[in-house]
Each structure stands twice: as C-alpha cells, then as structure tokens.
A and B are shown apart, each in its own frame.
Chain A
C-alpha cells in the first residue's frame, strides 16, 4: 500500500450556510482568481408512498471515496486551468432544506470554473461510493436513487 495523505471531503451533518461565505472570504487573498463557481446540493422534500422526505441519512465507503476523489481532482486539474477546488459532502443526517453538498471551484476565468464545477458535481454523484437513505418517518425510509 502506498502512503499518501488524502484530503477529507466529509462533514458530519449539514454544511452550515455560513461556511460558504467564510470560504469565499478566505479566497480574497488569492489574487490570481477571477472566477468562483459554486454548486450547493440541498435536501428536497420529495413526495413518497406514505409521506414526504424529512431528511437524508448519508453513509459512505470513506477510504474508497477519498481515493476516488483524489483521482477525480487530479484529472480535472489536468483538464482545466484551475486555481483551486474544494468539495464538502455530508455524512449522517441532513434535514430537508439543509445543504448536503458544497462544491467550490476557482479559476482565473469563468469558463474553466463553470465547466469544471459541472463536471465535478456529475462525477461526485456517479463515482463516489456514497449512499443516501431518504427518511420519511421513524418507521419509513427509502434508499435514494440518483437520476
């Protein structure tokens, strides 16, 4: 096994809205950035048989997800002229209306930031071993399926 430090992407519970403002503020000193592209995933109150989704409970194969994320990151940096990329995904319970995914891509110019951000979100949904369980009530839940 090769030893390398893997960047964590997981946060227990929802991602606080304040974190988004704080992270934008933290980039104000990076003078080569001209564009930030941000994607926020929010838990939706989908209608289900027997009620409405009240929360999503996330679990992951953490070690594999971080390995995979490192590869995705490397590939996107090779493909687009990016300055930086930050991904935060929730684990555990996130209530309806709360943020479960925060993707933040920065570049000198908007096109690279926007294109890379979109591609990154698609890859996070398709390639990272993360599962969401949609909670309707204490007795009723459904395993989430990505469209």
Chain B
C-alpha cells in the first residue's frame, strides 16, 4: 500500500496516465519531486493539489491509502 495519485485535464498530456497506485512518498513535497522527475513536463505545469478531496496549499504529510489529485485550473461550464 502507498499513495494513490490522480491526474486530471491537461496534466494527463504530460503523464499519459490518469492514475498511479502504491506510490511511496511521506509528504506532498516529496511526492511532487518524485512526479516531476518521472514526468518532467509537470515541472512547468500549473496545478493545484487535493489530498483526499481537500485542497491544500502547504506541504502535507501523507499516509498509506491517501488519494492525492493533481488538478490544472478548472474549465467546466
């Protein structure tokens, strides 16, 4: 078990996948660093982060089973 990561909108152009399972990361900053190494195009992308559907602004501790969503600016309607 680890962290589940979801990618949305334009970010899926950078990752080519919609989700990653069982990612090992202790907090959101470490997770971002890991993802930026794996998908360099994410480095320059603008996105928000939600942990278990709550938007976060600062580095947040993660535990097994958490769902982290990377979301570009919304464009519904």
Contacts and interface: CB of A to CB of B under 8 A. Distances in A.
A100 interface: yes
Given A61-B69, A129-B71, A146 B77 contact: yes
B53 A63 contact: yes
Interface in A82-129: 89, 100-101, 121, 124-129
27 contacts: A60-B76, A61-B8, A61-B50, A61-B69, A63-B53, A89-B77, A100-B77, A101-B77, A121-B77, A124-B76, A125-B75, A125-B77, A126-B74, A127-B74, A128-B76, A129-B8, A129-B69, A130-B76, A131-B72, A131-B76, A132-B75, A133-B9, A143-B10, A143-B13, A143-B72, A145-B75, A146-B73
* Interface bracket on B: 10 to 19
Given A61-B8, A64-B53, A143-B10, A131 B77 contact: no
B6 interface: yes
Contacts of A146: 73-77
Nearest to A56: B75
Given A59-B9, A64-B50, A145-B75, 13 more contacts: A59-B8, A61-B53, A63-B53, A101-B76, A101-B77, A125-B75, A125-B77, A130-B76, A131-B9, A132-B77, A143-B10, A143-B72, A145-B73
Interface string B29-53: 0000000000000000000001001
Given A67-B53, A129-B71, A61 B6 contact: yes
Closest 7 CB pairs of A and B: A130-B76, A131-B9, A144-B75, A143-B10, A64-B53, A125-B77, A132-B75
Interface in A44-83: 58-61, 63-64, 67
Interface of B: 6, 8-10, 13, 50, 53, 69, 71-77
A99 to B, nearest CB: 11
